[in-house]
Amino acid sequence: MMLLVTSGVAPYLAQAESILDVGDTFIVPLLLKLAFVLGIFFVGPLVAGYLEHKAMGRMQHRRGPVEAGPFGTLQLVADGIKFIQKEDLIPSAADKWVFAMAPGVALVPAMLALLVIPFGPGVFALDLELGLFYVLAASSVSVLGVLMGGWSSANKFSLFGGLRAGGQLIAYELPLILAAIAVAVQAGTLSLVGIVEAQAEFMLFGTGINLWYVIPQLLGFGIFFVAALAELSRPPFDMPIGDSELVFGYMTEYSGIKYAMYMLTEYAGMVTMSALMVVLYLGGWQLLPGVPLPGCEAAGGLFDCGVTGTLLGVGVMLGKILLLVFVMVWLRVAYPRLREDQLQRIAWLVMVPLALLNLALVTIAKVVY
Amino acid sequence: MSDLDLRQEFLAGTAPGEDIAVQLSGDGQFRTADMSLSIGPAHPATHGVFRIVLDLDGERGREARPVIGYMHRGFEKLAEHRDFRQIFALVNRHDWLSGFSNELGTALAVEKLMEFEVPDRAQWIRMLLAEWNRVLNHLMFIGSYALELGAITPMFYAFREREDIQHLLESATGGRLHFTYNQVGGLKIDLPKGFLAESTQVSSLVRSRLPDYFDLVLGNEIFHGRTKGVGPLPMEVALSLGVSGPTLQAPGLPEDPRVTEPYLKYGEIDVEVPVGENGDAFDRFYCLLHRIRVSLDIIDQIHDHIPPGPVNSKLPKMVKAPEGATYVRIENPLGQLGYWLESDGGRTPWRLKMRTPSFSNVQAIPYLMRGQLIPDAGSILGSVFFVVGDIDR
């Protein structure tokens, strides 16, 4: 790893070098990075969606999609094509510009958040020193699109959905950020690559085995996971959509490609949040605690890996992401929906105090040791 | 008009330079306008063309007004133009989830009016199929109620069982929804060979899968949070509104015509009536789930009782009921079903009045929904268990 940090002056741009930084030109790495982020952004949700279809199907005595493509893998692509063909309806009473812009406003931040998340040894577009801050800031802009959609639809159900989403975001952003701060405190950096590196260096006392942050901060991980579910409006926190109460919440009036954009936002958010959880708590692309990736032993098991090591690292990372996505799907299958006031009560009376407690414990431990 | 309920009035006679005398009125609270939200007639929570108009203050409803009649098909009038054998094809359609029980009620009414003796075997088979129909109906509501609370899986579980039961009933009746298996004086045809063995098998299968619902739904913490204490219906209100079935058993009244006023051969077997304590949504669901278990118990008892013999009796060429009127009430899956049958001695009923359980149960909705949140409106609406066709007829 090449650190550009010199004592005293903290640069705010790239720290670690990405393997996508090839050649001396400006344009080639840029295009490569764009392709990388867009590739993750469009393929990740498809994989997560396929996993959801199939896992839900199996849990519900169905088979899930089987017709489109081998084993139904292209079902979501077919859905996307169907959505593009549909009529793009705009209600006559809607605020047309806001209505049309809202899905985009929700979609773009989900894409921007992927910019700094490392997916393997050197496999990332950018390593911002403020990476964690940037991801959380970018992903919370998404709710603006939801609010806009809810407000501009000129539909009472949409309005309720949008307002619920707004309230939910305010309630759950706080424990989410407090839990993330605890990680930053323990790692001593906000850079996501730096956090993964810090997890490789956090040793179990007296041994050479490193611990991922999920072990010292199990409470924080739980809080982060629940808060992430709430922020993504995933069941059991899907009150903004609440199909049996609010028809389809803020998406009620949307059809065609705009609706597809909202759905893409949801699944991209699942991938982003899962990736973030893997980076913050589950050791990023590390195979197992204490086991360096094959091919990267020389460099401490994290960077400057060969082709095998890099591919394996990316595979491990994606595997962990899919595992978390699977847990989210599992919760959707198993649980009914909470009520909006119950959700707020849990957030303010349980999650925020627990997150503060977690932060205090981590800070004290950090100072003592 | 300002939303702030605070008015300043400058008192007259204040000269320049003096302190301004201001009188404030109002409590300084923001006034919010009520919003009227129409849930239905086409809304996912109402599973049918049922409409509720909610006056909302934020998410809290002040008043709820059910609007019914979108599905009125005039069955009572239609029945006046069909002869006594034909009305069976009508009555199994007003509550499409309890087709067999509806036919049974009609058959009992017509037979009572004609003073017809039905063979024992037919009576036991009627009981058997009515109980299967009850399980079928309750499974549907267990799935749909969980769906209303946002849990998608129980629906699929319920349909897995429903499929087995429907297959069983189809083998006997030829129908999956509208059986038309009853007729005046008995049944259309005897049970097929091996039916009882298969019935025993399906019964133990469904029984072995019941714990799924108890664990997945009834034991779920979020389900408790969404239903306990939500929409309690006190006993006096329940009785004055005439609700029946699980909705009446939830406040703790073990009223069930199968026990209190046995028809067919229900007097010869044990029928347990599950009751709740508080009459809230949780208790209504609890009663519904336990009624499945009770029905399976009844089915197992019936298997040992079915005697050999004919299943129908010879009817005259023209079925005519003597002049007069009669009332029959039976326990339908959703509550008490009553048929008031009046005949002028002709070939058709002069009047067939249906007292359907769904119609009586939805009368409780305005009471239950007063001052409730929108999400609770969903959990209340689902927990009074109605079929829209059964309300409007």
Q: Say if residue A21 is exposed, middle or buried (CB neighbours under 10 Å; 0-12, 13-18, 19+).
A: middle
CA atoms within 13 A on the CB side of A132: 25
Q: Report the C-alpha gap between A87 and B361 in whole angstroms.
A: 41
Strand pairing report for B324-332 and B335-343: antiparallel
- Provide the pLDDT for residue A327: 92
Length of chain A: 369
- Provide the pLDDT for residue B1: 44
Q: Report the C-alpha gap between B109 and B96 in whole angstroms.
A: 20
CB atoms within 10 A of CB A235: 24
Mean pLDDT of all residues in A270-280: 90
Rounded to the nearest angstrom, the minimum Cα separation between B350 and chain A is 42
Partner B contacted by A154 (CB < 8 A): no
Ranges assigned E (strand) in B138-213: 182-183, 186-187
Q: What is the pTM of this model?
A: 0.82
Q: Report the C-alpha gap between B28 and B257 in whole angstroms.
A: 57
Mean pLDDT of chain B: 84
Strand pairing report for B186-187 and B182-183: antiparallel
Lowest-confidence segment of A187-191, B284-288, B334-338 by average pLDDT: A187-191
Vertex B300 angle, CA B298 and B304, to 5°: 110
Cβ-contact A295, A308 below 8 angstroms: yes
B151:A337 CB<8 A: yes
Of all residues in chain A, the one with the smallest CA distance to B60 is A341
Q: With contacts defined as CB-CB under 8 Å, which chain B residues touch A59?
A: 153
Over 50: is that where the pLDDT of A12 sits? no
Over 60: is that where the pLDDT of A79 sits? yes
- Tokens 């431990």 — which residue? A365
Going B300 to B306 to B312 to B313, the CA torsion angle's sign is negative
Helix, strand, or coil here: A201? helix
Partner A contacted by B219 (CB < 8 A): no
More confident residue, A2 or B148: B148
B376:A339 CB<8 A: yes
CB atoms within 10 A of CB B252: 15
Rounded to the nearest angstrom, the minimum Cα separation between B56 and chain A is 11
Mutation target among B57, B212, B222 for the A interface, most CBs of A within 10 A: B222
More confident residue, A1 or A23: A23
Q: Please tell me what DSSP assigns to residue B29.
A: P
* Digit-coded pLDDT (tens) for A38-78: 888 888 888 888 999 999 988 888 888 888 888 888 888 89
Strand pairing report for B351-355 and B182-183: unpaired
* Digit-coded pLDDT (tens) for B194-236: 888 989 999 999 999 888 888 888 888 888 888 888 888 888 8
- Would you tell me which residues 144-163 of chain B have a C-beta closer than 8 angstroms to some C-beta of chain A? 146-153, 156-157, 160
Partner A contacted by B53 (CB < 8 A): no
Q: Report the C-alpha gap between B215 and B237 in whole angstroms.
A: 31
Mean pLDDT of chain A: 82
Nearest to B114 by CA among B328, B336, B369: B328
Q: Report the C-alpha gap between A326 and A277 in whole angstroms.
A: 14
Q: Say if residue B219 is exposed, middle or buried (CB neighbours under 10 Å; 0-12, 13-18, 19+).
A: exposed
* Digit-coded pLDDT (tens) for B139-180: 999 888 888 888 888 888 888 889 999 999 999 888 888 888
- Domain range list for chain A: 2-368
Partner B contacted by A308 (CB < 8 A): no
- Provide the pLDDT for residue A326: 92
Q: Report the C-alpha gap between B291 and B285 in whole angstroms.
A: 10
Cβ-contact A146, A170 below 8 angstroms: no
H helix or E strand, kind and range, residue A251: none
Nearest to B59 by CA among A230, A236, A341, A146: A341
Chain pair A-B, CB pairs under 8 angstroms = 79
ipTM of the complex: 0.76
Q: With contacts defined as CB-CB under 8 Å, which chain A residues touch B34?
A: none
Over 70: is that where the pLDDT of A302 sits? no
Helix, strand, or coil here: A143? helix
Mean pLDDT of all residues in A107-133: 83
Cβ-contact A122, A18 below 8 angstroms: yes
Rounded to the nearest angstrom, the minimum Cα separation between A343 and chain B is 11
- pLDDT over 90, % of chain A: 5
Of all residues in chain B, the one with the smallest CA distance to A332 is B151
Nearest to B148 by CA among B56, B281, B49: B281
Helix axes B120-148, B99-114, angle to 10 degrees: 140
Helix, strand, or coil here: B63? strand
Q: Say if residue B212 is exposed, middle or buried (CB neighbours under 10 Å; 0-12, 13-18, 19+).
A: middle
Q: With contacts defined as CB-CB under 8 Å, which chain A residues touch B57?
A: none
Over 50: is that where the pLDDT of A130 sits? yes
Measured between CB atoms, which of A242, A246, A335 is closest to B220? Answer: A335
